[in-house]
Structure 1
């Protein structure tokens, strides 16, 4: 914007600037229309623009004030998508099932150790039961640590997601938008003041002309205009949103990349090993159950039963403990099959997690609707400015 507004006059089909060049015959009717446009529609649209900017600033201010709440909500949304609550519940259930299985395994091993040399399948079963105990312990610990990591490290990741890319703002987009809107709002108010003064100038000229004989204007081109209504100044440039609205896309892309890296890291460090433990335990449980069936049928064969009794071992007690263990292992097998599909992070559906998180990230970083108002206002103002300039 220039320091002073040039006086432009409308000559029917176009607007011509005063200054050097052929003098232009002024037209009261067109000056009146231009005055009405500037002081009416253009002034009103600029007022609407200021109102939109103020509304956007107020919304950004509210969002910024609720920054902690927004971060917490995004964290809860992530936990819901990953099914953290279900994982926590199943982790507790796993600990309980593990204890029951360990107790049943101990009882069976005590019964079988004395007859291991009679049945080859007994040694295989004991080996599988030892493997199950070791892997169950590792699985339980790894699952708990994985869940803890989702609680502990997620806060820092979300904080980084909001952080500004160019400026030192904790609540990046919202704080930068507030800074930018402050500058733009002052500029629009300044432009509005210039516009209104421009309207007053046109009105001054129209009033002067209305008191002069229009026919005189053919020979007398001078207008005794005092220039009383004038305003000078410059609009201020904003150092914020220098990449214009691409900062929003870049900010969102950056946040999505962060959550994607975080999910991949959590899977690699915790949940892929958990899944591997689950699959290994399921395999060992199925092998152990087959051997339990085999041993249960063998111990009641007459010759074997006599040998076992001769060793002072109660066959019925062995069978009873084997049945209890078989039941515990079947329950464990069913539980582990459910556990491996309990969360998308265990199923390695990492893209689904990121895809479902993206709209939530967008919503929490900024609310698109109030920025839309700014663009609606700009589009509405463009034809009005074009007809004045």
Structure 2
């Protein structure tokens, strides 16, 4: 499958928005879905709709096979040792909260440290604040360099013998920076710490090998990688998952129940109480098939070319400030243009059919570090083209003409 032909697999692009072709540049929030994923979900509901694990009839057997096959596909996609290391959740947020509530609260004590960075998404910040409040552990932060990158000497200086948990994003959803997680994991393990990696932004854009990283936990969401909403993944080393207690109780996650006590199934099923996200898991499996067919190496190369072009074009516009490093970044650009409020910019872009994100991106501490209240974020994926970047640039120039006195500055080049 050639990347240049990818867009035809996404039905949502067969429309206009405000009289313009849809230019979707908000994939960091949620990606679009190829027809293969939509059809897989439709096929389940039309042909195999039944509960999993509980029935011996044909529909239940087929649904169970499809659900568990999605677990196998996910394990292979991230190179886990076993599908038993894959827990299906509602998304990255739920996966992180599961580790925080079930694992971290059991091992953290007063005086222990939980290490993070100021760039973390609220979903990888607030759960650890709650762990600290409940256990007496303290929060420590690896400082950022002036361009938003992490220096390994700062990592070594922040980690200590008291560090119990390190929670870090693989790629920042604001800065686009690729953090040196493999090196951070190595240093954390030398201190005896457990590492959780927030892979929500990395898993759609690069090949991930959890065994090579040697991370203890890795979390991501299906909806950012061409899959449906409401399905996510917690990868955990088997020996760690087996020590964790479930935090939701009910049907299917039990081994034995009597009137006064109960025992749990082995992981991952002990964490999937009740009717699981069957259609979501099947859709995720179809998304993984799609990404494998395209090839993660081709997706990564396409992303790099598109991002390089976008940075070049944005940098040519007077008054544009790009946040984060210009190199060692993936898939997104966060920026502001002069005194134009990000929400105003996003509104004008939308009038041209260009969809971007504006706001604090669930990273308020990082916004304060950047000394801004909000930014505009354009994020790219496999279905985007240079033509989409050109439309973004022209829409930004239109916004400048509307909001800035020198909007027609000769230094701005219209594509």
The TM tier, using the shorter chain, reads under 0.3
Normalised by the size of structure 1, how large is the TM-score?
Answer: 0.21
What is the TM-score of this pair, normalised by structure 2? Answer: 0.20
Greater share of residues in strand: 2
Larger radius of gyration: 1
